Amino acid sequence: MPYTSAMHALVAGATGFIGGVLVRRLLADGADVRALVRDRRRARATLAEDPRLELFVGDVLDAASLAGAGDGIDVAYYLVHSMGRGEGGGFEQREARSARAFAQMCAKAGVGRVVYLGGLGDEPGSKHLRSRDATARVLADHGPPLTYFRAGMVVGPGSESYRTLRHLVARLPVMIAPRWLSTPTQPIDIDDVVAYLAQAPQVEASAGREVQIGSPDVLPYAEMLHRMAVALGRRRRPQIPVPLLTPWLSSLWIGLVTPVDARVARPLIEGLSTETVVTDPSGAALFDVQPIGFDESLRKAVAGERG
């Protein structure tokens, strides 16, 4: 949905998986984009060059470095999290401090809207998911009106969750099946997530509210593994129930049999004990987005990797 006039967007987390796709979408829609990055050299290697893309070097952990980042900005996207970086040492406090610094900078600069993407699930068992929900409250309390998107597993070639499923199916002829494989979830395609994010500035009714998003499909992780096998052209993998396998042991196992870092796998697995399904679709109904199903999303992701 092209913008009627040049919109100025700030994206924190622009070099991440979702942030990078969002930057490309905003530019394609005609927006001017300022990417908040910690490392200019890495950002240049990650983000495509575009005359409407500006790099602003700053760190959300250093409030002083954010001065000027929000000047002239209409909407600011906050796609920053510390999953896999800091299991201990007060990462929850760091995330809260980062969100507060970003929100206060946006408020001072007169930014019209902040857009944030967190996770689905009520009372999550993972402290990382709890921290991401707390981040939304900090952003809402200290910054401009917030559109708080909540999504489950995001499916795309750069998604750690997708990569975990893909490599499990590709590398193991038989899989152990911890209890969390029966947990229902509602995955969503990366392009659909970004469509919601990109439309947010034009949907005035989404300001100051939570928006839960997902695909039409609700299914357990065990079924997702079966469907991944089909998408890869493999036979379905037999699953041997091992109900006593803890999330911590599961993350170590996944770290051994896939390229996913165990520090990233652990918070991912810890979150799988929580049902991540849309319980209130009213926010998503405000948007002109028709999410695709899980099977189509898998086919897209596999084709994207092969292409």
CB 10 within 8 A of CB 76: yes
Query: Would strands 219-220 and 184-185 be described as parallel, antiparallel, or unpaired?
Result: antiparallel
How many other CB atoms are found less than 10 A from the CB of residue 212?
20
Computed over every residue of the chain, the mean pLDDT equals: 86
**Domains in the chain, start-ordered, CATH in brackets?**
8-154+189-213+276-291 (3.40.50.720)
pLDDT of res. 86: 47
> Quick one: pLDDT band at residue 256, thresholds 50, 70, 90?
low
> Quick one: pLDDT band at residue 122, thresholds 50, 70, 90?
confident
Radius of gyration of the chain (CA): 19
**95-99, 168-172, 177-181: lowest mean pLDDT where?**
177-181
> Quick one: pLDDT band at residue 43, thresholds 50, 70, 90?
confident
Give the containing element (helix H, strand E) for 36.
strand 32-37
Q: What percent of the chain has pLDDT over 90?
A: 54
> Quick one: pLDDT band at residue 186, thresholds 50, 70, 90?
very high
| HSE, side-chain direction, 13 A CA sphere, residue 251 | 19
> Quick one: pLDDT band at residue 70, thresholds 50, 70, 90?
very high
What's this model's pTM, rounded to 2 decimal places? 0.90
| Region 51-76 average pLDDT | 95
Residue 271: pLDDT over 80: no
pLDDT of res. 73: 97
pLDDT of res. 245: 61
pLDDT of res. 28: 94
